[in-house]
Amino acid sequence: MRSHIWRYGVLVALLSFGASMMTLRNAFTQDDWPAIVEDERAHDPKEWVRYWSEPYWASKFGGDLYRPMSSTTMAAQWKMGGGAPFTFKVMSIALYAATSIAVFHLALMVAGPITALAAAMLFAVHPVHVEAVAVAVNQAEIIVCLLMALAVARYIRDRRRDRVDARTRWLLFAATLVGALYKETAAVLPALLVAAEGIMLLRTPRRWRDLAGVMALQVLAIATVGVLRYRVHGSNMRATFTAEAISGATMWERLLTMLGGVVPEWLRLLLWPANLQADYSPRVIDPAVAWETPQTLGLAIILLIGFLAWRLRHRSPLFTFGVAWTAIGLLPVSNVLVPTGIMLAERTLITPSVGAMLAVVALGSLAVRAVGVQRRTVARRAGYAVLAVVLVMGITRSFSRHQIWRNQLILWRQTVIDAPDGYRGRVALGALMLGMGWTDRGEAQLLEGIALWDGSSGPIFTLADRYRHSDRCAEAVPLYEKALAIEEFAPGRAGLVTCRAFLGQYAQARQEAFDGLRIGFYSEIFRVWIRTLDVAIRTNAPAGTVLFPIGKNYLFESAVSEEGVLGRTRVAKGVHVMSDRDE
């Protein structure tokens, strides 16, 4: 039997490789650029220590989150491979294979070898995992899933042997501590341990005292992460922006949005991920403020699955445990208790999918046992045939989907096709095209994205900034105003000041500069601009003669303090008013 188990593990690993091997030829995409390629800390080993005292995102990208283990792992791979994407791809595939084997190991703790093999194979070829494997920074998702599977398997094994010793408790502590330093979602590991105890270990001697000892160290692990996070972000423990669809929403409105827009997508992606996409922004998932038919459908899905899990808790504890695992895995990204920066992302479903696959094979096993004894062999063979077909479909879909992540241009072009109503895909494609010099097509995509969803200041500012750099300030001004009406931010205010000055609207530009002083960023710059505009008003300077000769990208870099901005260059010295002779 041991030789069969070993062979099963190799089979699972081979399936995971077959599903993900196409990513080896892919370039960096999505968040790989700001988090790895453009983060100066990643390129110098002497700077890696800063990850433990600074946010995950560099200040110029917002200064959000705290994931020092993830950042350090990425930086080490950058150093090992000389910045080549191939190194990251090999690591992602290796981690995915290890996680698939860990899921097999976990399933062996709660089911027979054949059932465990089926669950692990389904996990290994699941197309919803493509995003987690294809993007280098998403290795954190895979690592957290790996740690959870190993930790729960270890706990179940030791509980059945009636010896949850100190070594196991500290290993579980390390899994939660390290996992949470990779990504915050690892904080649900204690809940998974409780679910395993309450569902899968009912027939073993109750050892709640052992569980209490485990939980004490779990609390210590989470508290340790909380202290480290507090040192970086203070009382802002969430330390991230809020997704567009739930920005400013109450908890009730977030619940409505989750029930109506997210729950059906979760079910589809976990059970039949034929359509995959990199964007679930508004117009794909819209905010909800009232109870309507979609909310009823979402609630019905939850109640039905919950009812089945309760009714089958004795007949098929594996199904109940799978449902509990899925629900716990989805809780951190549900946005109900704590709003996050995404409404839905396929990468976040890798951990919940472990439970979903356990539940699926449990139902399949129940279906086989439900037929008569004489037909059970036929039913089992039919089940194997269905499994084989699903595996072929899964590996084929995963194989083809990895090719969509070949590079940024292919990704966002396909995203516009996959999610034609999503605004973010069009905005990302438009910004990319502008960067490539495809001005007309880039502006067209941005305009379409803004038409789909005008509740985010970023795309509007991007288009306004493009107009400004093209000397189309008359078109840029209303866009800057619209962006600032959504959110007050220094780059938008600065862009509006410079455009009004260019148009000769000196009094209005001066007032905009005074408004900019209240933001707190670039205050010295705004003060110099005010003095410059005073001169322009006094001398009645012609339109187009007032220049603020600052590099076009300089002013729009985010910074955590005014000193961080002015420390790069004293731009105030270069501000002047053109005289007739300068022309």
In angstroms, the CA 280 to CA 264 distance is 13
CA 505 vs CA 65, 189, 225, 471, 517: distances in Å: 41, 59, 52, 15, 19
Q: At what angle do helices 523-539 and 506-517 cross, to 10 degrees?
A: 160
Rounded to two decimals, the pTM is 0.89
Amino acid present at 451: A
CA 233 vs CA 65, 229, 237, 410: distances in Å: 8, 6, 6, 36
Amino acid present at 78: W
CA angle 453, 455, 456 (to 5 degrees): 100
Domains and CATH numbers, the chain: 2-404 (no CATH), 410-577 (1.25.40.10)
Q: What pLDDT tens digit does each residue of the chain (583 aa) get?
A: 566 788 999 999 999 999 999 999 999 999 999 999 999 999 999 999 999 999 999 887 878 899 999 999 999 999 999 999 999 999 999 999 999 999 999 999 999 999 999 999 999 999 999 999 999 999 999 999 999 999 999 999 999 888 888 999 999 999 999 999 999 999 999 999 999 999 998 766 666 777 888 999 999 999 999 999 999 998 887 778 888 889 889 999 999 999 999 999 999 999 999 999 999 989 899 999 999 999 999 999 999 999 999 999 999 999 999 999 999 999 999 999 889 989 999 999 999 999 999 999 999 999 888 876 777 788 888 989 999 999 999 999 999 999 999 999 999 999 999 999 999 999 999 999 988 889 899 999 999 999 999 888 889 998 998 998 888 999 999 999 999 998 888 888 989 999 999 999 999 999 998 988 887 777 778 888 888 899 889 989 888 888 764 443 444 433 333 332 222 222 222 233 333 333 3
- Name the region of 162 (left: φ>0; alpha: ψ -120 to 50; beta: rest): left
What tokens does 264 get? 């059906």
Residue 518's CB: how many other CB atoms inside 10 A? 10
